[in-house]
Amino acid sequence: MDDAPGALPAASLLQLIWLASPALPVGGFSYSEGLEAAIEWAGITTEQAAADWLADQLHLSLARSDLAIVGQAIPAWRSGDLDRIRTLNDWVFQTRESAEFLLQTEQMGRSFVEWLKLRHTDAAAVFDTLPASYPVAFAFAASRTEAPARDACLAFAFGWAENMAAAAVKAMPLGQSAGQRILGRLAAEIPPAVDRALALADDERQAFSPMLAVLSARHETQYSRLFRS
């Protein structure tokens, strides 16, 4: 059956689903992005508290930084504007607020590039002198589809939400039904978060989440932990 008029081509839709999948071998499942420390020290002890925490993280952190970077990097990749890509990539590295957050975007970006080399013949040359952050590497993959930047950002955010809901289930612990309710809450809040991210200008992006940064730093020496952040 042909794609409906105006619909995203099936191949591009499937690529976005693939990019958002926790099965993508980039290691996202191994990070809690400060949630594990929040459970230990910030009173995140219930399903409701975890859902509220992650929703705040979506709007206050992800939407104002990495989501905005993905939205801006996709057209830059498509136009071949490598100076713009380097500027965006440098901003990601320079604004990580803890050693763990920096290591996360470095490791996930590096792993993503290795996967990209299996999919795109020019990826090795493109990234030879560009140690890509995770959002910039994701944007490269998304730029090779016909998906609008908004759809790609929705996929990026949902992939993040799946990993974070799974982290909550493992670390608290919660049951699978609770995890699905948390994911449902995040899914409902992703579209407005993406719209806000896409509307940000360069001087409106920010990565300033002091409590999250402190918790991430404390996590580095947390006595018992499941996750790398």
* 3-state DSSP percent of the chain in helix, strand and coil, to 5: 70, 0, 30
Spatial CA neighbour of 186 closest among 62, 100, 69: 62
What pLDDT shows up at residue 72?
A: 98
The residue whose two tokens read 């910030």 is 42
What pLDDT shows up at residue 1?
A: 42
Q: Name 59's Cβ contacts closer than 8 Å, sequence gap at least 6.
A: 189, 193, 196
* N- to C-terminal Cα separation, the chain: 45
Spatial separation of the C-alpha atoms in residues 15 and 163, rounded to whole Å: 18
Q: What are phi and psi of 201, to 5 degrees?
A: -85, 170
What pLDDT shows up at residue 106?
A: 96
According to the 3-state scheme, what is the secondary structure of 130-167? CCCCHHHHHHHHHHCCCCCHHHHHHHHHHHHHHHHHHH
Q: Do residues 41 and 215 lie in contact, with contact meaning Cβ atoms separated by under 8 Å?
A: yes
Q: Name 3's Cβ contacts closer than 8 Å, sequence gap at least 6.
A: 9, 10
Residues 118-169: pLDDT tens digits?
Answer: 999 999 999 999 999 999 999 999 999 999 999 999 999 999 999 999 999 9
pLDDT along the chain (229 residues), means of 10: 66 93 88 90 93 97 97 98 98 95 95 95 95 97 97 97 94 93 98 98 93 86 68
